[in-house]
A and B are shown apart, each in its own frame.
Chain A
């Protein structure tokens, strides 16, 4: 992985930061899950199933990666699911009206980002707690989307556009490439840019960050804008895959995205976590749900299991950190 190469190069003695250790444990857990599922089910290791898992994980990861930055900064964005709904419907309308997938994509990304900027302004400038600001935004977006759609469904998009959701390249779904791309970009941004480091600093202690000369307000607005933009990305992939847009399209995705971030090791208090951890968190969550499907476990159990994993992951982290 990328993180071991940075530490091994400079010093002969390999020292692993807590973050890296955390991610390694999670990778081991994901690996163990795969082994168990491969043994107890016949169909887990089939190419189809693996690609299916990755594709499902990718949707979750788009949302969760933007959310990771928000949580790193010490905030929370509950509006991402509702943002998907609005952005998907606007993108669908634009594609239908103009026939241009490019304009539709811009509309989806633009509306997603704009919603994020609004969240950021509420949190940074009006000093509204992020939980409240984005929770309110969730309802506002739902209302706007339902009013706009009036119960209608928009469906049937050009095949070129549908590629980003259901297409393949070299036998692997396009969303999986997008996921790896955003994983690399998100990790680079968080670990290797000044802005990324400043976001960690803000999450760890916002008062100290401000008194260190970090422009806290601007960075917070940026972080919420990123989260909104990633909701825009998710809306487009979702739209292209479903080939139809409805008002409630993203509603069920918000809390699983939060779960993926928490399973991935980020702290809701801010300053702790990695985008790569969230990637592994999204994988673990998807693997578990996939395994339950393969084992024909009643779908009603899925929320329960999700809850148990989240609590367990956070608890094990707390124990691990106390010891070091």
Chain B
């Protein structure tokens, strides 16, 4: 089986194995077939105690399938599992739990109307001495212990639906930790976290490592891969295309392995002299808590809006778009004062590409064509009469222009990959003829190839005279892509960085809470 790993970088790993002793868990020759697609094709990999094993690959490379095989959600068609050298079966989630495997999925599995403690110990509640009742005191005490361990300052009695995305992610992590897992699998745990929370998570991970916990970590962020990883496995098209050790490889090399072609990580931009002011905010305050927001975006420029998660970036975007009510101040778009809700914003040529494309950007059960038309209906059909043929032609043109990978315009948009879904969200605003684009985390959960395409598209938009305000938690993106950037902290704008001042250090320095 070991000989089956054919990819060139593999031999180093094979040589190293003896030094490390028996792996905690080893997967050999795992294959999983779905109708029409081979999700996993002869994948082998091993985890040793106390190491962080990075799993890399574009969307659809097989990372999620591999995780699901690992936690018993899928049954592998072929292949074998070895736990401390002994052959074991993982056929159900219970099997996986018995082996000490805990998984934190990207999609949360929390119950919104239960509180934090109930979620952490869901299905493992403490029984009271009185039969049939639960020991609530112990529940909250134990929950508090877990929360303290990861440094999450939230009352365990808080209902989960009132928490933000980042805090929910931390609760999810607390839940996995409370199971005393010896193997922890995490799927992009930092995608929704601010830098500070990320730091805290990394500290917890280092604690766990020291105790001998093995961690499998899926990430799209190269910095994390190199900062945390002891070992890297790259998947492509369901196949294991390489193992690597952080010290002996480079981001470019890994990206080449993932995509099988060279993708430029630096997102080239053509900077030009900006045009007229398109968006101007004067002393904006809104019901969501943002205050004294002043900013300007000109035609032909990409302006970044950065800061920690929860610093008020999304709220600024929503206030501009009219999705949340403004309490004071003035929004000017193309020189005119803008008032009213999202319908007014859309007719005035403003586009919002929201943070969560599945819940806020798309109607997943509808077709690609429907979704591409929905924002531009009044513009495409000024006489109010809808023509399916015209909508389809418009959709086909956008599919071609944005290179959306879909078998047909009639495909349900929910079946597309994340990158293609994001292109559909952008496409619907192109159909609407928008001139001011507000992107809120445009590349979240999108693979490297699609990221470059989306940035190329944004660059093309500004080249054609559009104005762009871009929110991103990835400072590298802001630094590479933006003409300048505003930094937010505590729901206010705390500074502006010009092109020459724009660096990750400066953004972090301005955006940090603790000074």
- A205: Cβ under 8 A from any B Cβ: yes
Whether A213 contacts B342 by the Cβ 8 Å rule is yes
- With a cutoff of 8 Å between Cβ atoms, the chain A residues found around residue B381 in the complex are 194
Q: In the bound complex, how far is the Cα of B392 from the Cα of A10, in angstroms?
A: 10
- With a cutoff of 8 Å between Cβ atoms, the chain A residues found around residue B432 in the complex are 213
- A99: Cβ under 8 A from any B Cβ: no
- A47: Cβ under 8 A from any B Cβ: no
Min CB distance B241 to A, Å, is 33
- With a cutoff of 8 Å between Cβ atoms, the chain B residues found around residue A207 in the complex are 359-360
Min CB distance A287 to B, Å, is 30
- B496: Cβ under 8 A from any A Cβ: no
**Contact-size category for A:** 20 to 34
Given A15-B410, A201-B366, residue A196 in contact with residue B386 (CB < 8 A)? yes
- Per-residue CB contact flags for chain B residues 381-398 toward chain A (1 = under 8 Å, else 0) read 100111111001000000
- B404: Cβ under 8 A from any A Cβ: no
- B374: Cβ under 8 A from any A Cβ: yes
Q: In the bound complex, how far is the Cα of B392 from the Cα of A215, in angstroms?
A: 23
Q: Among residues 335 to 385 in chain B, which have CB atoms less than 8 Å away from a CB atom of chain A? A: 341-343, 345-347, 352, 354, 359-367, 370, 373-375, 377-378, 381, 384-385
Whether B385 contacts A209 by the Cβ 8 Å rule is no
Whether B323 contacts A212 by the Cβ 8 Å rule is no
Whether B365 contacts A193 by the Cβ 8 Å rule is no
Whether B384 contacts A214 by the Cβ 8 Å rule is no
Whether B374 contacts A193 by the Cβ 8 Å rule is no
Q: In the bound complex, how far is the Cα of B365 from the Cα of A215, in angstroms?
A: 21
Q: In the bound complex, how far is the Cα of B360 from the Cα of A9, in angstroms?
A: 35
Whether B377 contacts A198 by the Cβ 8 Å rule is yes
- B428: Cβ under 8 A from any A Cβ: yes
Q: Among residues 207 to 223 in chain A, which have CB atoms less than 8 Å away from a CB atom of chain B? A: 207-215
- With a cutoff of 8 Å between Cβ atoms, the chain B residues found around residue A214 in the complex are 342-343, 374, 377
- With a cutoff of 8 Å between Cβ atoms, the chain A residues found around residue B360 in the complex are 207-208, 211
Min CB distance A190 to B, Å, is 10
Q: In the bound complex, how far is the Cα of B378 from the Cα of A19, in angstroms?
A: 24
- B437: Cβ under 8 A from any A Cβ: no
Whether B386 contacts A197 by the Cβ 8 Å rule is yes
Whether B365 contacts A271 by the Cβ 8 Å rule is yes
Q: In the bound complex, how far is the Cα of B361 from the Cα of A205, in angstroms?
A: 9
Given A212-B346, A214-B374, residue A204 in contact with residue B363 (CB < 8 A)? yes
- A298: Cβ under 8 A from any B Cβ: no
- B486: Cβ under 8 A from any A Cβ: no
Q: Among residues 177 to 211 in chain A, which have CB atoms less than 8 Å away from a CB atom of chain B? A: 191-198, 200-201, 204-205, 207-211
Whether B363 contacts A211 by the Cβ 8 Å rule is no
- B250: Cβ under 8 A from any A Cβ: no
- With a cutoff of 8 Å between Cβ atoms, the chain B residues found around residue A194 in the complex are 377-378, 381, 384-386
- With a cutoff of 8 Å between Cβ atoms, the chain A residues found around residue B158 in the complex are none
Min CB distance A210 to B, Å, is 6
- A17: Cβ under 8 A from any B Cβ: yes
Whether A197 contacts B385 by the Cβ 8 Å rule is no
Whether A272 contacts B385 by the Cβ 8 Å rule is no
Min CB distance A207 to B, Å, is 5
Q: In the bound complex, how far is the Cα of B392 from the Cα of A9, in angstroms?
A: 13
- Per-residue CB contact flags for chain A residues 1-44 toward chain B (1 = under 8 Å, else 0) read 00000100110000101000000000000000000000000000
- With a cutoff of 8 Å between Cβ atoms, the chain A residues found around residue B364 in the complex are 204-205
Given A271-B363, A271-B365, residue A211 in contact with residue B321 (CB < 8 A)? yes
Q: In the bound complex, how far is the Cα of B386 from the Cα of A135, in angstroms?
A: 34
- B207: Cβ under 8 A from any A Cβ: no
- With a cutoff of 8 Å between Cβ atoms, the chain A residues found around residue B345 in the complex are 213
B428's contact among A191, A197, A212, by CB below 8 Å, is which?
A: A212
Name which residue of chain B comes closest to A270, CB basis: B365
Min CB distance A227 to B, Å, is 21
Q: In the bound complex, how far is the Cα of B386 from the Cα of A194, in angstroms?
A: 5
Min CB distance A104 to B, Å, is 32
- With a cutoff of 8 Å between Cβ atoms, the chain B residues found around residue A271 in the complex are 363, 365-366
- Per-residue CB contact flags for chain A residues 77-108 toward chain B (1 = under 8 Å, else 0) read 00000000000000000000000000000000
Whether B363 contacts A192 by the Cβ 8 Å rule is no
- B78: Cβ under 8 A from any A Cβ: no
Name which residue of chain A comes closest to B425, CB basis: A208
Q: In the bound complex, how far is the Cα of B372 from the Cα of A208, in angstroms?
A: 12
- B408: Cβ under 8 A from any A Cβ: yes
Name which residue of chain B comes closest to A192, CB basis: B386
- With a cutoff of 8 Å between Cβ atoms, the chain B residues found around residue A209 in the complex are 363, 374
Min CB distance B350 to A, Å, is 8
A212's contact among B374, B385, B410, by CB below 8 Å, is which?
A: B374
Q: In the bound complex, how far is the Cα of B345 from the Cα of A207, in angstroms?
A: 15
Of A17, A200, A213, the most chain B CB neighbours within 10 A belong to A213
B408's contact among A6, A15, A208, by CB below 8 Å, is which?
A: A15
Min CB distance B23 to A, Å, is 39
Min CB distance A167 to B, Å, is 33
Q: In the bound complex, how far is the Cα of B370 from the Cα of A272, in angstroms?
A: 13
A205's contact among B363, B373, B410, by CB below 8 Å, is which?
A: B363
Given A15-B410, A191-B386, A212-B428, residue A272 in contact with residue B365 (CB < 8 A)? yes
Given A17-B410, A201-B363, A205-B363, residue A212 in contact with residue B375 (CB < 8 A)? yes
- With a cutoff of 8 Å between Cβ atoms, the chain A residues found around residue B323 in the complex are 210-211
Q: In the bound complex, how far is the Cα of B369 from the Cα of A201, in angstroms?
A: 12
Min CB distance A318 to B, Å, is 13
Whether B321 contacts A197 by the Cβ 8 Å rule is no
Whether B386 contacts A213 by the Cβ 8 Å rule is no
Whether A208 contacts B361 by the Cβ 8 Å rule is yes
Q: In the bound complex, how far is the Cα of B352 from the Cα of A214, in angstroms?
A: 13
Q: In the bound complex, how far is the Cα of B386 from the Cα of A128, in angstroms?
A: 31
Min CB distance B397 to A, Å, is 15
- With a cutoff of 8 Å between Cβ atoms, the chain A residues found around residue B352 in the complex are 211
Whether A213 contacts B347 by the Cβ 8 Å rule is yes
Name which residue of chain B comes closest to A9, CB basis: B389
Q: Among residues 391 to 420 in chain B, which have CB atoms less than 8 Å away from a CB atom of chain A? A: 392, 408, 410
Given A200-B370, A210-B323, A211-B342, residue A6 in contact with residue B388 (CB < 8 A)? yes
Name which residue of chain B comes closest to A196, CB basis: B386
Of A9, A17, A192, A194, the most chain B CB neighbours within 10 A belong to A194
Q: In the bound complex, how far is the Cα of B383 from the Cα of A193, in angstroms?
A: 9
Q: Among residues 420 to 447 in chain B, which have CB atoms less than 8 Å away from a CB atom of chain A? A: 428, 432
Q: In the bound complex, how far is the Cα of B373 from the Cα of A205, in angstroms?
A: 15
Min CB distance B370 to A, Å, is 7
Given A212-B374, A212-B375, A212-B428, residue A10 in contact with residue B410 (CB < 8 A)? no
Q: In the bound complex, how far is the Cα of B410 from the Cα of A209, in angstroms?
A: 19
Q: In the bound complex, how far is the Cα of B347 from the Cα of A204, in angstroms?
A: 22
The 5 closest A-B pairs by CB, nearest first: A213-B346, A204-B363, A212-B375, A215-B343, A205-B363
Q: Residues on A close to B: CB < 8 A? A: 6, 9-10, 15, 17, 191-198, 200-201, 204-205, 207-215, 271-272
A-B contact pairs, 10 of them (CB 8 A): A192-B385, A193-B385, A194-B381, A195-B384, A197-B374, A200-B370, A205-B363, A208-B362, A212-B428, A213-B432
Beyond A201-B363, A204-B366, A271-B365: 20 further Cβ-contacts under 8 Å? A6-B389, A10-B392, A15-B408, A193-B384, A194-B381, A194-B384, A196-B386, A200-B366, A200-B370, A201-B366, A205-B359, A207-B359, A208-B362, A208-B363, A209-B363, A210-B323, A211-B323, A211-B342, A213-B345, A214-B342
